Chain A
Amino acid sequence: MRYVFDIEGGNFDKAGQASSEIKKVMKQLGIEPAIIKRTVIALYEAEVNIVAHAYRGTLDAVVFEDRIVLRLCDVGPGIEDIAKAKEKGYSTASPAVREMGFGAGMGLYNMEKNADVLRISSEVGQGTVVEIVNYLNNRHS
């Protein structure tokens, strides 16, 4: 099953809508609540990052029998130093983003913690691609 969503950069009123839809799908499929929670937390952080930093993006979610693959691509400024961005507390978020309760430098940390596989690639001035893979059983958690 495949689901595709557009994500609007800068629009915090809509941030989380795609993650919410994926949560509903996973619930309907009867996936274990703990796996749903890990997956949607990683996804929500990735979605909020697009809203906070990029101009626009897409989420392409594919549910396989044993795993869910979430690919988020954005058009935006990109990440200059991915290793640094993963450090707890490091953030380049604007004051407006911080007012929304984000930008504390926990986003990539939370994504890493809740994803079985996390791949990030980025080109400065072009955009970022984040891929999250979570297995739908407990062997990988």
Chain B
Amino acid sequence: MKVQEMMDLVGGKLVCGESVHNQDIYYGFASDLMSDVLTLHASQHLLITGLANLQTVRTAEMADIGVVLLVRGKKASPEMCELANDLGITIIETSFSMFRTSGLLFTHGLQPVY
């Protein structure tokens, strides 16, 4: 799935990072627990989370996650955007819940990690 298609499905708004609309993402993982995110071995996956703080970006950095989707209307802070920009991480926001977001993306072909 292209990032653009994902954004269209969830009404996502790109708020930090470079334009990656044409980039492919194959797997999705939804969690508010960052240690759970750090258990993943998949690459090119999307992190779907309602946790919006600096550790969300740091966790994405350590886990080699390039795109973070903030759900439930959570907003990326200026500090998060600054760090994400430095690290080349893209942050997208959606007002949809984690359940709705995950369901939509799953039914349109985004694969689960487990």
Task: Using CB atoms and an 8 Å cutoff, list the residues of chain A in contact with chain B.
Answer: 12-13, 15-16, 19-20, 23, 33, 37, 40-41, 44-45, 48, 100-102, 104-107, 110, 113
**In-complex Cβ contact of A23 among B36, B49, B59, B62 (8 A):** B62
CB distance from B44 to the nearest CB of A (A): 13
Say how far B31's CB is from chain A's closest CB, in angstroms: 9
Asked if B25 lies at the interface with its beta carbon under 8 angstroms from chain A, I say no
CB-CB under 8 A from B39, the residues of chain A are 106, 110, 113
CA distance A44 to B79 in the complex (A): 19
- Provide the main secondary structure of the chain A interface: helix
Alpha-carbon separation in the docked complex, A20 to B63 (Å): 11
Q: How far, in whole Å, are A37 and B64 apart by their CA atoms in the complex?
A: 7
Q: List residues 2-56 of chain B with CB under 8 A from any CB of chain A.
A: 32-36, 38-39, 49, 51, 53-56
Q: Known: A13-B54, A13-B79. Contact between A102 and B62, CB under 8 A?
A: no
Provide the bound-state CA to CA distance between A141 and B87, in Å: 27
Known: A16-B55, A16-B58. A101 touches B64 (CB 8 A): no
A19 vs B33: C-alpha distance when bound (angstroms): 19
Task: Give the tally of cross-chain contacts (CB within 8 A).
Answer: 68
* In the complex with contacts A16-B55, A101-B55, A101-B56, A23-B61 CB distance below 8 A: yes
Q: Are B64 and A33 in contact (CB under 8 A)?
A: yes
Other than the given A12-B55, A100-B51, A100-B55, 12 more pairs (CB < 8 A) read A45-B35, A100-B34, A100-B53, A101-B33, A101-B34, A101-B51, A101-B53, A102-B55, A104-B35, A105-B35, A106-B38, A110-B35
Residues of chain A within 8 A (CB-CB) of B56 are 101
- In whole angstroms, what is the CA distance A13 to B55 when docked? 8
How distant is A59 from chain B, measured CB to nearest CB, in Å? Answer: 14
B62-A101 in contact (CB<8A): no
Q: Separation in Å of the A93 CB from the closest CB of chain B?
A: 10
